[in-house]
Amino acid sequence: MSITATSPSDPSAPAAGAATAEADRAAERVRRRRPSAVLRMSEAEAADIGGDPDDAAADELVLLNMGPSHPSTHGVLRLMLELSGETVLRSKPVIGYLHTGMEKTGEQLTYLQGGTNVTRMDYASPLFNELAFCLATEQLLGIDVPERATWIRMLMCELNRVSSHLLFMATNGMDLGAVSMMIYGWREREEVLRFFEKVTGLRMNHNYIRPGGVAADVPADWRTDVAGLIELIEPRLDEYDTLLTGQPIWRERLQGVGVISAAEAVALGATGPILRGAGMAWDLRRDEPYLFYDQVDFDVIVGTHGDCYDRYAIRLNEIRESLRIVAQIIEAMPSGDYRVQDKKVTPPPRSRIDASMEALIHHFKIFTEGFKVPPGEAYASVESPRGELGVFMVSDGTSVPYRVHVRAPSFVNLQTLPHLMQGGLIADGVAIISSVDPIMGEVDR
C-alpha cells in the first residue's frame, strides 16, 4: 500500500519554516489555478456557455448538472461540470439544498439542549459533534470532567470513527461498482450501531455526550461487548484488503485519480484523510491532544500520492488504529463518576426524583431553564473521521449561547473538489466525491 504510519516522534516531519514557505507557494499556485478549475458563473451565464456560434471549440463544451442525487453525490450535493467530451474542465459545487440552520437553532437552545441539535450535523459520526460542543461548553464553565467520563467519551468516539469509516468503505465500494463491499461494510457497521443502541438507547443522533460527562454509564458487560466487536471486525478488515486493495480494477479506478499535494491541501484548508493522504501527518489527537489521547499508543496513517487510493487506504487502516485504541481503553478504564457532581450543571439521579420534591424541582429547572454559563468565548476542536471539527461559542452569561459557529470539515473539504476533478473524467468525478466523503448535513448546517 502507498501508506505509512508516523509516530509522535517521527523525525521525517518537515521544518516549520520550510513548510510555511511551501504552503505560501502552494497558496499562490491554488490562487492562480482557481479560475481555470472553479466554474464561476451564474445559471444565466451558463446558458450562454457556447459563446460565439462560429467558435467550433466552444460548441464542443457542455455544461452538465450532476446531482443532487443521493447516494451518487453523497446527499443533496449538486455539481455544475463544464465538459469537453467526458473530460472535466471546470466544476462548481452548489450547496444549500439541505440548509438546516443548525448554528442559528443552537442560539435558541440551552446548553443542555444543544447536543440534540449538533448531533444531527454529521449524522455518520454524531458523537464527535456532541463532543466538540461539550468541550467548548466546559471551557466556558471552567469544569473538569471525571476521568471515567473522559475514557467513556474516547471509547464511544473511536467506535464511532470505526462505524463512520465502515460506512465509507461500503459507499465507496458501491460508487465504484464493488457491490459486495456495500453489503460487507454495512454488515460490520450494524454491529457497532447495535452497541451504541445498547449504551445510549439510539442507533444514531444519540445526545449521549453532555456538558460535564455523559448521559449514562456504560453497561456492566461493556468490556465483553467491545472485545467482541474487535474480534469480529479485525479479521474482516483483512478480507476487505483481499477483496479490494490489490484488485486491478480497483487500482485502475483510484490510483492517480484526484491528486492533491500536501501544500495545496493546506492552502485550501483541507484536513483529515485528504490532508494525510497527501503526505502530511496531521492529526489533532496526536498534535493537539484532547481527552486522554496522549495516554494511548496509536499511529497516524499518511499517504504518499494524495490520490483517491491513498484516501481509501488511510481510512481502512485508521479502522485498525481505532480498534487498537479501543483495546487500550478496555484496560485503562477506571471506576468513578460518569458525570461531574455539580448540581448547577448535573441533573439529579433518576432514582431520587420519585423520592424527593427538591430533586424533582431541580430536574425540572435544569431541563426547562438550563444552567447559566459565565460570559466569554471558547473554541474546541476534535479530529472527526472527516478532519478538524471545531465549535466556536460565545456566552453572554445566560443559559443560551449568544453565538455558535461550527468549523465543519465536510464544508471546508468540499472546496477541494474542483481542483481534484479538473482534467479527470466524469466517471473519475464519482470516485473523487466518494474519496472526499462529504456529509451534507454538516455542509448545509
Among candidate residues 243, 278, 247, the one with its CA nearest the CA of residue 261: 278
Q: What is the mean pLDDT of residues 98-127?
A: 92
Q: What is the mean pLDDT of residues 142-154?
A: 96
Q: What is the mean pLDDT of residues 265-285?
A: 96
Q: Could you read off the pLDDT of 411-425 as tens digits, one per residue?
A: 999 999 999 999 999
Task: Give the model's confidence band at 34: pLDDT under 50 very low, under 70 low, under 90 confident, else very high.
Answer: very low
> What is the value of pTM for the model shown?
0.88
For residue 331, give Cα distances in angstroms to 52, 169, 234, 334: 71, 29, 18, 9
> In whole angstroms, what is the distance from residue 149 CA to residue 10 CA?
31
Task: Give the model's confidence band at 33: pLDDT under 50 very low, under 70 low, under 90 confident, else very high.
Answer: very low
* β-sheet bridge partners, residue 209: 214
pLDDT above 50 (res 260): yes
Architecture category of domain 102-443 in CATH: Orthogonal Bundle (1.10)
For residue 81, give Cα distances in angstroms to 42, 246, 308: 13, 31, 19
Q: Could you read off the pLDDT of 100-110 as tens digits, one per residue?
A: 889 999 999 99
Phi-psi sector, 417: left (phi>0), alpha (psi -120 to 50), beta: alpha
Q: Could you read off the pLDDT of 285-298 as tens digits, one per residue?
A: 999 999 999 999 99
Q: What is the 3-state secondary structure (H, E, C) of the chain?
A: CCEEEECCCCCCCCCHHHHHHHHHHHHHHHHHHHHHHECCCCHHHHHCCCCCCCCHHHHCEEEEEECCCCCCCCCCCEEEEEEECCEEEEEEEECCCCCCCHHHHHCCCCCCCHHHHHCCCCCCCHHHHHHHHHHHHHHHHCCCCCHHHHHHHHHHHHHHHHHHHHHHHHHHHHHCCCHHHHHHHHHHHHHHHHHHHHHHCCCCCCCCEECCEECCCCCCCHHHHHHHHHHHHHHHHHHHHHHHHCCHHHHHHHCCCCCCCHHHHHHCCCCCHHHHHCCCCCCHHHHCCCCCHHHCCCCEEEECCCCHHHHHHHHHHHHHHHHHHHHHHHHHCCCCCCECCCCCCCCCCHHHHCCCHHHHHHHHHHHHCCCCCCCEEEEEEEEECCEEEEEEEEECCCCCCCEEEEECHHHHHHHHHHHHHCCCEHHHHHHHHHHHCCCHHHHCC
Q: Could you read off the pLDDT of 336-379 as tens digits, one per residue?
A: 999 999 888 888 887 888 888 988 888 888 888 889 999 999 99
pLDDT above 80 (res 283): yes
Q: What is the mean pLDDT of residues 131-154?
A: 96
> In whole angstroms, what is the distance from residue 158 CA to residue 366 CA?
30
pLDDT at 288: 95
